Structure 1
């Protein structure tokens, strides 16, 4: 055992740089795997913890059309065993919220009438400000999703537009609002004092809407309750219903994307580390072949020599994994605090709620076992060392013959430039390290390209808005106070404007799909009825076509999947209590509502004697010249200040997706820097080893008159060629491979095909950065040749 420890200690001491690099690779692999495991586990844990603390709802029922009696609904659900229901809360929709004199873009609010008693379901969890049973007169409570994104604090003043004027409320508290406070939320609940609500809202035209929450002891049985509901009332629930999956979806999506990417890249980093360990052991065996032969000839067994290597790398792996896992807790806390900031309070944050350490430790132990298995596999070659051949050739006799034949073939001096020959021989003689260099270049380029493509696709989402399920109209106009304006007048103003190319008018409704055979309960979906052309406004489909006739419907991919529908099938749907049988004309993807939605023509609302006047909720306007968009938006907002909110499409998309960019840029940037740094360090190390092994050959080159720069340039040239080959493969992986990791994840959110925008300049820069890091590592590794005389090199 003393001999094993002596060999291990000597190897650790003599190869500090090489051992340090391997330890760093293992540390980074542990960091990525530990961070991804912790982020994925804690994302669900944090959300579920808040959901439990607030006795959160599994379903939110919103009654806006008057198709159900709110009190009747509450009484029936309150009588069901295993279900808790909150009393109906009255509210009114508003838009046009201003902070510090500036209107907040793409924000719609529900002004809630705070009940005298706190609700039993979906209780509010205060994050900052005064904790009271209800807001005081002139005060309001706002959600963290609005406060944190806009920088609003307790004590700030907000202004609200109504049909009769403007009123102000001071923020007295900020709370966590699970059902409507997820990242990317465009709707916020503002809780008002009851007397303020009665005084201000009751003066407005229109009627109250109502909201109540349902919480099930066993959420898996909710379908049975809805089946019982339909039997009792002899009809399905006809108004809007928000499911638990929709409530939780956007709390989880970014962290799941980050976690999945980190797992994939952590595995890649782990494989690189294992390959490097295997290469290092093989190189050590080859470099110390005579030494191993001498040791075996003196009676030291193969098992003890293998034990020396095993002990060495087990020490390195343990020393690297422990700090890697420790750092991963800080990294995951940073990501969680950044992406789930809406769940933070003044007393607690994502880091304080941090769990999942056991999963990270399991990942670290798995990594340690892989390292030990790898080194045992590679160091097993020591058993085949024959002492006589080792002492004579410095390698096996067969290896010696193969090496001679390989170096004698291909590019030779006299027929090719001397730099090319040196570069070629450097690549061929160091086959494993050459493969490692190409693989590193490929993965580094892939990470850089993927990061650029993903961020560019989100930043430039206007170019692919239709593929995310949005329109591509130049201007969007929302009508939030329909009683305060004339829809006919507004339409005539828009259509009479010579700058307007075409326009469409969208009515937002709730559709109910009755349960199919073998399914429990009906499904509530978001329904858009358009007076205009879907194609002209930029809405796209994956299959078939958008509806054109009043009996046609296009459905989201999740609706099609749940009900087993394809283009050409018929679909029964209840719209405002009336049953319609429609032909599926197309299937589309949309991240909004997770593709649980459908499109119909406005004429469909008049089927079966429908005569009601459906005022549009949104108008889409296309212009002859997009340069007029800002001016027209200002004119519309100025002409109808109490009833409409107009904005350019770019402003709406920016307000919704800038948060995604801010959250993703930190982890993707960290991964890119890690891989660039690792590429430099590994290539520096393997080139340093290769140059040291061939120091005698390079000494001869110098003695024959070659300059230091020529030799170093030839070595760098070989690495650059390998890097370019790897970079080409990395571009393909970054564009097609890594985005493919997200397909199964995004499908749950209603996206079957990830819309990507390729930035050619950024991709080229990413490739150059990867090649530059590798080439600089090779150049830097050979710098000691310039400081050493040819005689010393030859002697060594």
Structure 2
């Protein structure tokens, strides 16, 4: 046993750089893998815990059109056993809010008449401010999605466009509104005092709209409840209905993307670490072949020699895995706090769960490492003491080496016409084949990480160029109607029609279409009964083509009997272009021919588009302007807001996109930057270590080169250019993987969110620069490793 520990400690001392590098690789791969698992599992756990604590809704009903009596709906659901129904939450819709003199764009408001608490479902959690039964007169509660995103604090004043004079209210509390306050939300519930609501919002809308939450004791039984409810109504439910999947989806999307990237790259880094371990053990056995033969001749068994490697890498694994698991908790906390910041309060911190998972991950990685070590160390069993002492290798290997030496002498004549530095660089790459493969893989992976991060972030920042493929329009200016009672549509149309800068103006409104149960093919996993599907409809007055709405298959509707449907509606109804879809709209049944299928990140593609002739009364929510010169957009926006500011909010389309997707870019930029720096560091260190090992093996050869006139700089440059050429091939492969392979895998992840064709923008200048960066890092690692050639004289090198 003493001999085993002595050999093990000797290996640790002699190969400090290699051992340190392997320990770092294991630490980082453990960090990435465990962080990915922790982020994904904790995101769902945090949401589900809060959803359970606040009695979160499984479905949210929005009663706005008067097609069903709200009191009757509330009474029926309240009477059902196994169902918790909220009280009716009256509200009036509004758009347009000002904070510190600046308009907050792209935000639709539900001005709530706050009832007595508890509501029954979706209880509010106070994140800032004092918890009270109702907002005091002149004050409001706002959701964290509004407060944190636009830096609104308790005590700040918000101005709402609710008439000729803005309605001024102070924020008395910030609350977590789980149902409507998720990431990327463009809707916010503003909780008002009853007196303020009754007095200040009379001009907004004559009648109240209502929200109502439903929570099932057994979620799998919801299909049966809905079947009975619609039987009670005598028709499908015609109002807006939001399911639990839609409510919760965007709480998880960013962490799923981050988790996917980290887990994928963590596995790649672990494979690199295992390959490096195998490469190092193989190299150590070959380098110490004669020594191992002597050990065996002195009485050490093969099992004891293998045990020295197992002991060595068990030690390295333990000193790497434990810090990796600890650091992953901190990194996970940072990512979760940033991506789920809307669930954070001033008096509570994010509690990371999963100690059991960390233990399983650590044990699993340790066992995998030891299995690889055992597999490669087993090569020591075949060492015969006499052959090892005589040849320094097996007799068969000695014969192959002698034969190869003669062949290389013959083949060397082929290189006589090549410049000497070229021959040195190529020979360094081809002779050290395993190390060269490792370098190629590393530069490929590093380039792929850098390119993928750039492509993803650039596509989000420049989303205006591909907005139709994300389900948005491509207009230049959007006119959001903030107060319908004061909005003068004819005046706006006349002004825009006579303005030479404006090319066209189209209007959009929204309503609900319902596909009856016999049209759907969706079934509950525990219940074969199909349900009716409530589909948000984008209703266009004008031309969808002019607005810039796009389809991935087919075209936009042009006539009243045509419809374009989102990809998830297509899946759920089993409809393709040319099929017939029957929908109830405003209580009437309509038949449509599907002319197009489109994708949209909004509503997860659970939506459709029809022309305005379908509806009897279109409530126009927004107008979409295209200009002859986009440079005029700032001027047009300013003029519209100055003239119609009490009833509209005019913004550039880029402003609307930024208000949603800059949030995504901010969440992604930290983990993607960390990953890029990690892989650059690992690439440099591994190439340094691998090159150093090979240079030490060939040190006598380089001494001979120096003795016949080659300078240290020439030799180092030749070695470096050989590695640069190799890494250039890796960078080219990395560009392909980062620009096409990784986005393809990510597209599969986003498919459930309604995106099946990922709209990416290739910034080829940036991609080329990042690929060159990975090549430069590889070259730097080799250049640093070759310093030993410069620091020793030819005589010493030859003597060695």
Q: Hey, what's the Cα distance between the residues in 1 that align with 2:292 and 2:461?
A: 58
The correspondence of residues 385-400 of structure 1 with structure 2, limited to 5 A, is 385-400=383-398
Residue 436 of structure 1 is matched in structure 2 by 438
Residue 670 of structure 2 is matched in structure 1 by 666
Contact kept in structure 1, 2:203 and 2:485, CA below 8 Å:
no
If the length of structure 1 is used for normalisation, what is the TM-score? Answer: 0.97
Q: Hey, what's the Cα distance between the residues in 2 that align with 1:502 and 1:682?
A: 59
Deviation of 1:413 after TM superposition, in Å, equals: 4.8
Assess, with a 3 A threshold, how the Cα gap between structure 1 residues 412 and 284 changes in structure 2: closer, same or farther.
Answer: farther
Assess, with a 3 A threshold, how the Cα gap between structure 1 residues 14 and 665 changes in structure 2: closer, same or farther.
Answer: same
Deviation of 1:487 after TM superposition, in Å, equals: 2.3
Runs of 4+ in 1 over 3 A off after TM superposition: 397-400, 405-413
Deviation of 1:718 after TM superposition, in Å, equals: 1.3
The correspondence of residues 538-557 of structure 1 with structure 2, limited to 5 A, is 538-557=548-567
Q: Hey, what's the Cα distance between the residues in 1 that align with 2:419 and 2:168?
A: 80
Task: Identify which range, 488-497 or 174-183, moves more after superposition.
Answer: 488-497
SS at 1:482 equivalent: coil
Deviation of 1:160 after TM superposition, in Å, equals: 0.9
Contact kept in structure 2, 1:37 and 1:356, CA below 8 Å:
no
* Equivalent residue in structure 2 for 1:726, among 722, 730, 750: 730
* Equivalent residue in structure 1 for 2:688, among 681, 684, 691: 684
Assess, with a 3 A threshold, how the Cα gap between structure 1 residues 410 and 65 changes in structure 2: closer, same or farther.
Answer: farther
Pair 1:699 & 2:738 matched = no
Contact kept in structure 2, 1:406 and 1:428, CA below 8 Å:
no
Q: Hey, what's the Cα distance between the residues in 2 that align with 1:464 and 1:251?
A: 24
Deviation of 1:427 after TM superposition, in Å, equals: 1.1
Contact kept in structure 1, 2:161 and 2:482, CA below 8 Å:
no
Contact kept in structure 2, 1:106 and 1:186, CA below 8 Å:
yes
Residue 499 of structure 1 is matched in structure 2 by 501
Pair 1:574 & 2:578 matched = no
SS at 2:148 equivalent: helix
Residue by residue, what CA displacement relative to the aligned partner does 1:396-436 show, whole Å, maximum 9, x if unpaired? Answer: 34434255367443685522111111111111221100100
The correspondence of residues 157-176 of structure 1 with structure 2, limited to 5 A, is 157-176=157-176
The correspondence of residues 371-450 of structure 1 with structure 2, limited to 5 A, is 371-400=369-398, 401-402=400-401, 403-404=404-405, 407-408=408-409, 409=411, 413-450=415-452
* Equivalent residue in structure 2 for 1:777, among 781, 784, 787: 781
The correspondence of residues 447-466 of structure 1 with structure 2, limited to 5 A, is 447-466=449-468
If the length of structure 2 is used for normalisation, what is the TM-score? Answer: 0.97
The correspondence of residues 330-349 of structure 1 with structure 2, limited to 5 A, is 330-349=330-349
Unaligned residue ranges in structure 2 (runs of 5+): 522-527
Deviation of 1:506 after TM superposition, in Å, equals: 1.1
Task: Identify which range, 172-181 or 399-408, moves more after superposition.
Answer: 399-408
Contact kept in structure 2, 1:38 and 1:357, CA below 8 Å:
no
Residue 11 of structure 1 is matched in structure 2 by 11
Assess, with a 3 A threshold, how the Cα gap between structure 1 residues 447 and 314 changes in structure 2: closer, same or farther.
Answer: same
Residue 36 of structure 1 is matched in structure 2 by 36
Q: Hey, what's the Cα distance between the residues in 2 that align with 1:538 and 1:423?
A: 55
Residue 357 of structure 1 is matched in structure 2 by 355
Residue by residue, what CA displacement relative to the aligned partner does 1:267-323 show, whole Å, maximum 9, x if unpaired? Answer: 000000000001101111111111112222222221111111111111111110011
Unaligned residue ranges in structure 1 (runs of 5+): 606-611
Residue 139 of structure 1 is matched in structure 2 by 139
Deviation of 1:491 after TM superposition, in Å, equals: 2.3
Assess, with a 3 A threshold, how the Cα gap between structure 1 residues 200 and 248 changes in structure 2: closer, same or farther.
Answer: same
Contact kept in structure 2, 1:33 and 1:360, CA below 8 Å:
no
Task: Identify which range, 684-693 or 392-401, moves more after superposition.
Answer: 392-401
* Equivalent residue in structure 1 for 2:752, among 748, 752, 760: 748
The correspondence of residues 17-166 of structure 1 with structure 2, limited to 5 A, is 17-166=17-166
Number of paired residues? 788
Residue by residue, what CA displacement relative to the aligned partner does 1:379-400 show, whole Å, maximum 9, x if unpaired? Answer: 1111122333322332234434
Task: Identify which range, 27-36 or 596-605, moves more after superposition.
Answer: 596-605
Contact kept in structure 2, 1:35 and 1:360, CA below 8 Å:
no
Deviation of 1:563 after TM superposition, in Å, equals: 1.2
Contact kept in structure 2, 1:135 and 1:193, CA below 8 Å:
yes
Pair 1:641 & 2:645 matched = yes
SS at 2:485 equivalent: helix
Q: Hey, what's the Cα distance between the residues in 1 that align with 2:588 and 2:314?
A: 71
Residue by residue, what CA displacement relative to the aligned partner does 1:547-599 show, whole Å, maximum 9, x if unpaired? Answer: 11110111001011111111111111111111111111111100000000000
Assess, with a 3 A threshold, how the Cα gap between structure 1 residues 717 and 178 changes in structure 2: closer, same or farther.
Answer: same
Contact kept in structure 2, 1:411 and 1:424, CA below 8 Å:
no
Assess, with a 3 A threshold, how the Cα gap between structure 1 residues 228 and 758 changes in structure 2: closer, same or farther.
Answer: same
Contact kept in structure 1, 2:155 and 2:172, CA below 8 Å:
yes
Deviation of 1:519 after TM superposition, in Å, equals: 4.3
Contact kept in structure 2, 1:466 and 1:472, CA below 8 Å:
yes
Contact kept in structure 2, 1:487 and 1:615, CA below 8 Å:
no
Q: Hey, what's the Cα distance between the residues in 2 that align with 1:77 and 1:105?
A: 36
Q: Hey, what's the Cα distance between the residues in 1 that align with 2:221 and 2:406?
A: 72
Q: Hey, what's the Cα distance between the residues in 2 that align with 1:490 and 1:362?
A: 64
Task: State the Cα RMSD in Å.
Answer: 1.4
Residue 608 of structure 1 is matched in structure 2 by none
SS at 1:603 equivalent: helix
Q: Hey, what's the Cα distance between the residues in 2 that align with 1:348 and 1:727?
A: 46
Q: Hey, what's the Cα distance between the residues in 2 that align with 1:514 and 1:493?
A: 43
* Equivalent residue in structure 2 for 1:626, among 623, 630, 655: 630
SS at 2:142 equivalent: strand
Pair 1:563 & 2:573 matched = yes
Q: Hey, what's the Cα distance between the residues in 2 that align with 1:462 and 1:124?
A: 36
Q: Hey, what's the Cα distance between the residues in 2 that align with 1:37 and 1:629?
A: 45
Q: Hey, what's the Cα distance between the residues in 2 that align with 1:708 and 1:328?
A: 44
Q: Hey, what's the Cα distance between the residues in 2 that align with 1:387 and 1:59?
A: 75
The correspondence of residues 268-283 of structure 1 with structure 2, limited to 5 A, is 268-283=268-283
Residue 765 of structure 2 is matched in structure 1 by 761
Contact kept in structure 2, 1:224 and 1:520, CA below 8 Å:
no
Residue 609 of structure 1 is matched in structure 2 by none
